[in-house]
Chain A
Amino acid sequence: MPEGIKDKVAIIGMGCTKFGELWDKSGDDLMVDAFKECLEDAGIEKNDIDVAYWGACFPMQGLSGMPLSTLLHLPYIGVTHVENLCASGTEAVRAASYAVASGASDIALAIGVEKLKDVGYGGLPAFGVSMTGANSTAPGSFAMMATRYFTTYNLSPEEGKRMIGRVSVKSHHNGTLNPKAHLRREVTLEDVVKAPIVAWPLGLFDCCGVSDGSAAAIVCRADMAKKFRADPVYVKALQIAISSGEEINYTDFDFAHVESTRRASARAYTEAGVKNAREEISMAEVHDCFSITEAVTMEDLQFSPTGKVRADIESGFFDLDGGLPVQPDGGLKCFGHPIGASGIRMIYEMYKQLQGKADQRQLKDPKMGLTHNLGGFPQGNVCSVAIVGL
């Protein structure tokens, strides 16, 4: 295992827009809004930034470094567009952190954005018709994981739907406490279980919001951080793992877990020096694109034993007042999911919690927060895991 970047990089400023169906905002508007908050929070000038990475998944925001550079009129610095599906935002933070950790840059900007509500129909933009693969969507793909999880652990569809339904009830509650969240209303378990089916067995409330939004972070060398603020947040680990393809091309994969999450988190724990994730991680924002994804992720991150997450979900272990609060900001489920922005939005919540600035959602003395993105499908995906702390 390489040495890693633990405590070599500090986050000194962050910004995040409200997420939602923001009909009156362009993707550019959202990036400027996130950048403005981020710059003010860091207390630096635009010209202090010496490199920038911007994440966006779908091509409508433009290609190359130019859309960001010409939008912010950055002073001829290096700007790179990064894309890694739903991990695009975290990928931008990783690139910025590596730039700083390597000594190639002192202050780096990472910004993520997605403007999904200019497409003309609900859900994510269609990827076009494949000549071979099934006519699948994201909810359908994760529905297949739910079917497999229920089958593997002997849950009836009703029991399974109640288990994952409880995940959404918790996130909806947290979303009501967050003024920037897309969806802000309480739902009951009955609402979730009885909602119209999107892709069996997943119903409407098992699916996250499809939203517009942007989030940004400024990172610098850790030894410089205190020059900018008294309460910087330090990067403890940043790991990405990508499917090898054996999940679908070979027959061993059980479809009841996500292999890349296991691999990325195991490496992140080593990098951060975490021995017992359930005990040491204070809080987490994970990729709950669907309720089943969050449930399975709890196991893959070693928060719950494999096959046993149901007990932790039903006991409220992941609730705001539980042993390991997950999705304190409402998660993808309720904060919303503008793809390229989501990874940075998750870090934004950890950052605010660690600084004690999470208002009604504030957790007691968090020390270390974990964020997790999963792009793609159970059978082929990209996974990012970040750990940040004091």
Chain B
Amino acid sequence: MVGITSYGGYIPWYRINRMTIYGAIGSWLNPASLLPGEKAVANWDEDSVSMAVNAAIDCLTDAEREKIDGLYFATTTSPFMERQAASIIATALDLSPEIRTADIGGSISGAASAVLTAADTIKAGSAKNIMVCSSDCRIAKAGGPLEEQYGDGAAALLMGDEGVIASLDGSYTLSYDIMDHFRVTGDKYNRQWEDRWIRDEGYGKFIGEALAGLMKKYNLSAKDFAKVCYPCLYPRAHGGIAKKLGFEAEQVQDSMFTAIGNTGAPYPLMVLIAALEDAKPGDKILVASYGGGSSAMFFTVTDEIEKVKGKRRGIKQNLEFKKDIGQYERYITCNSVLTIDTAGRGEETSLTSASKLWRERREILGLVGSKCKRCGTPQYPPQRVCANPACGAVDEMEDYRFSDKTGHIFTYTGDLLAFSPNPPSIYGVINFDGGGRYLLDFTDCEQDKLKVGLPIELSFRRKYVDRVGVSGYFWKARPVTED
């Protein structure tokens, strides 16, 4: 039996209310196209790679990462045309290098393709445990309808054949070349054809075709399923797709369109994870993607689900952890639609040394430090000479991973001299629980909510974009504030 063995989700902290967009740039928007609710938007230090790592970290809660032998990453917004994002993610997760990695791009249906390919890989005996990550961070031109729709987020599913919480019991895929949405090489922004055509000829048809095809293939009907999960492009057309196939409204899993927006590639998996969070053993869950056709899959929830439920941040907790970004200008600064004056200090970005990054990849991307075998002191960055003044052992270190540790704020500041696209630059000294100390940037927090002693967790972030456009990644402290 092959299926999902764990899940994890990630939704960025910031939300923007669609009325904030409309209020700032409303004269370009057609009031008839005004959409309700809010959407999730990445902070300036996030992209599809960083969000995927955070979803995968959630998915790895209680999981043995040493046993993972594959990682597939589905996105349409990889920060690199050449340099595999899956292997950046695998390095950040400190996975073994003896794994199969692949990027699946080009379509927002990619996450479903990744899940199906992972399942086939495992069935074929080529791997035992594959992490499927998906994430997107699509940006849209200011004032257009896509800006209202697109949200940011990530999902991760661990696929395997032991400890399966939801078995993958069937699939049905349709592939079409349809230029409803597209982004040509070199362009920053998506374009689309007329909405009404997409709604009627693409979105309104393909998902239904795939779901119907699957049910026919396996001789199932709408009443056999506890939930049906699929993305929402048009809120008013969303419900009708399932209704036409005989599903009741309560069988349709909430698409979260008014909470997070259309998140692209990870979207169907995020809706699926939300369904799994409420699922009971025996439930059958139907999922369909959208994009160049549709892939439909169905899962049967097992008793093992109880071991995972409530132990992940998943989707539910991520939905609650949020902060209204407030101003439209802050949003378009964070996603670089607006080019701000970084002034002299902000322009002081050197090139990313590829040789250093390679040599120190576990230290930088994986936050792997060292622990003295003689005195037991964890230390970051990894030391060859023990920093404990009472010890001083030389070359008696073992690797020690900090990325899965928590910590507390020892001291901090909010710095307005340091350049930040979202000032102030908040950082401080973190004492890690279990030992070790480092000076880390903080993220997703407000300075006036901070105090010495607050707990923190680690979050993988895009630390900088250098002057040739290379994104550099590192870990930041995310303070756990009371509200």
Are A and B physically bound partners?
Answer: yes
Residues on A lying within 8 angstroms of B by beta carbon are 119-123, 125-129, 131-137, 139-141, 143-145, 147-148, 151, 197-202, 244-246, 248-252, 255, 379
Show 25 A/B contacts (Cβ-Cβ < 8 Å), sorted by A: A121-B343, A122-B417, A129-B349, A129-B464, A131-B364, A131-B472, A132-B474, A133-B439, A135-B420, A135-B425, A144-B411, A147-B411, A151-B452, A197-B416, A199-B416, A200-B413, A200-B424, A200-B447, A245-B387, A249-B380, A249-B437, A250-B389, A250-B437, A251-B436, A379-B429
List, in ascending order, chain A residues with CB within 8 A of B387's CB.
244-246, 249-250
**Cβ-defined partner of A246 (8 Å) among B363, B388, B429, B452:** B388
Task: Using A129-B348, A131-B357 as known contacts, say yes or no to A251 and B435 having CB atoms under 8 A apart.
Answer: yes
Besides the known contacts A144-B429, A151-B411, A251-B435, 14 further A-B residue pairs in the complex with CB atoms under 8 A apart? A128-B350, A129-B348, A131-B364, A140-B417, A144-B411, A144-B413, A197-B416, A199-B413, A201-B413, A246-B387, A246-B388, A246-B389, A248-B437, A379-B429
Asked if B352 is an interface residue, CB under 8 A from chain A, the answer is: yes
Closest to B441 in A: A134
CB distance from A164 to the nearest CB of B (A): 14
How far does the alpha carbon of A249 sit from the alpha carbon of B360 in the complex, in Å?
A: 18
CB distance from B483 to the nearest CB of A (A): 20
CB within 8 Å of A: which of B355-378?
A: 356-357, 360, 363-364, 377
Contact, CB under 8 Å: A199 / B452: no
- State the 5 A-B residue pairs at the shortest beta-carbon distance, nearest first: A121-B344, A249-B387, A140-B415, A134-B427, A143-B413
Contact, CB under 8 Å: A134 / B439: yes
Contact, CB under 8 Å: B411 / A199: no
Contact, CB under 8 Å: B437 / A251: yes
How far does the alpha carbon of A251 sit from the alpha carbon of B415 in the complex, in Å?
A: 24
Contact, CB under 8 Å: A249 / B379: yes
Contact, CB under 8 Å: A139 / B474: no
Residues on B lying within 8 angstroms of A by beta carbon are 343-345, 348-350, 352-353, 356-357, 360, 363-364, 377, 379-381, 383, 387-389, 410-420, 424-425, 427-429, 431, 435-441, 447, 452, 463-464, 466, 472, 474
Among A125, A245, A251: residue with most chain B CB under 10 A: A251
List, in ascending order, chain A residues with CB within 8 A of B356's CB.
131
**Cβ-defined partner of A200 (8 Å) among B360, B383, B414, B474:** B414
Contact, CB under 8 Å: A250 / B414: no
Contact, CB under 8 Å: A244 / B383: no
Contact, CB under 8 Å: A135 / B344: no
Contact, CB under 8 Å: B463 / A129: yes
List, in ascending order, chain B residues with CB within 8 A of A137's CB.
415, 417-418
Among B344, B364, B420, B472: residue with most chain A CB under 10 A: B344
Closest to A126 in B: B348
Contact, CB under 8 Å: B389 / A140: no
CB distance from B479 to the nearest CB of A (A): 14
Task: Using A129-B466, A131-B364, A200-B424 as known contacts, say yes or no to A143 and B437 having CB atoms under 8 A apart.
Answer: no
List, in ascending order, chain B residues with CB within 8 A of A252's CB.
389
List, in ascending order, chain A residues with CB within 8 A of B350's CB.
128-129
Contact, CB under 8 Å: A135 / B419: yes
How far does the alpha carbon of A141 sit from the alpha carbon of B389 in the complex, in Å?
A: 23
Among B387, B419, B435, B436: residue with most chain A CB under 10 A: B387
How far does the alpha carbon of A132 sit from the alpha carbon of B464 in the complex, in Å?
A: 10
CB distance from B65 to the nearest CB of A (A): 22
Closest to B385 in A: A245
Contact, CB under 8 Å: A199 / B383: no
CB distance from A126 to the nearest CB of B (A): 4
CB distance from A255 to the nearest CB of B (A): 5
Closest to B350 in A: A128
How far does the alpha carbon of A129 sit from the alpha carbon of B425 in the complex, in Å?
A: 13
Contact, CB under 8 Å: A148 / B411: yes
How far does the alpha carbon of A144 sit from the alpha carbon of B313 in the complex, in Å?
A: 31
Contact, CB under 8 Å: B389 / A144: no
How far does the alpha carbon of A249 sit from the alpha carbon of B387 in the complex, in Å?
A: 6
Contact, CB under 8 Å: B363 / A132: yes
List, in ascending order, chain A residues with CB within 8 A of B377's CB.
250
Contact, CB under 8 Å: A136 / B415: yes
Contact, CB under 8 Å: A140 / B437: no
Among B381, B437, B474: residue with most chain A CB under 10 A: B437
Task: Using A129-B348, A131-B472 as known contacts, say yes or no to A148 and B343 having CB atoms under 8 A apart.
Answer: no
Task: Using A135-B419, A148-B411 as known contacts, say yes or no to A128 and B349 having CB atoms under 8 A apart.
Answer: yes
Contact, CB under 8 Å: B411 / A123: no
**Cβ-defined partner of B389 (8 Å) among A135, A147, A244:** A244
List, in ascending order, chain A residues with CB within 8 A of B466's CB.
129
Contact, CB under 8 Å: B439 / A248: yes
Closest to B380 in A: A249
CB distance from A8 to the nearest CB of B (A): 33
List, in ascending order, chain A residues with CB within 8 A of B424's CB.
199-200
Closest to A147 in B: B411
Among B387, B417, B463: residue with most chain A CB under 10 A: B417
**Cβ-defined partner of A119 (8 Å) among B344, B360, B429:** B344
How far does the alpha carbon of A128 sit from the alpha carbon of B381 in the complex, in Å?
A: 19
Contact, CB under 8 Å: B379 / A140: no
List, in ascending order, chain B residues with CB within 8 A of A200's CB.
413-415, 424, 447
**Cβ-defined partner of A139 (8 Å) among B379, B389, B417:** B417
CB distance from B52 to the nearest CB of A (A): 20
Contact, CB under 8 Å: A144 / B412: yes
List, in ascending order, chain A residues with CB within 8 A of B412's CB.
144, 147
Contact, CB under 8 Å: A255 / B410: yes
List, in ascending order, chain B residues with CB within 8 A of A133's CB.
439
CB distance from A256 to the nearest CB of B (A): 9
Closest to B440 in A: A134
How far does the alpha carbon of A143 sit from the alpha carbon of B420 in the complex, in Å?
A: 17
How far does the alpha carbon of A126 sit from the alpha carbon of B425 in the complex, in Å?
A: 14
Closest to A123 in B: B417
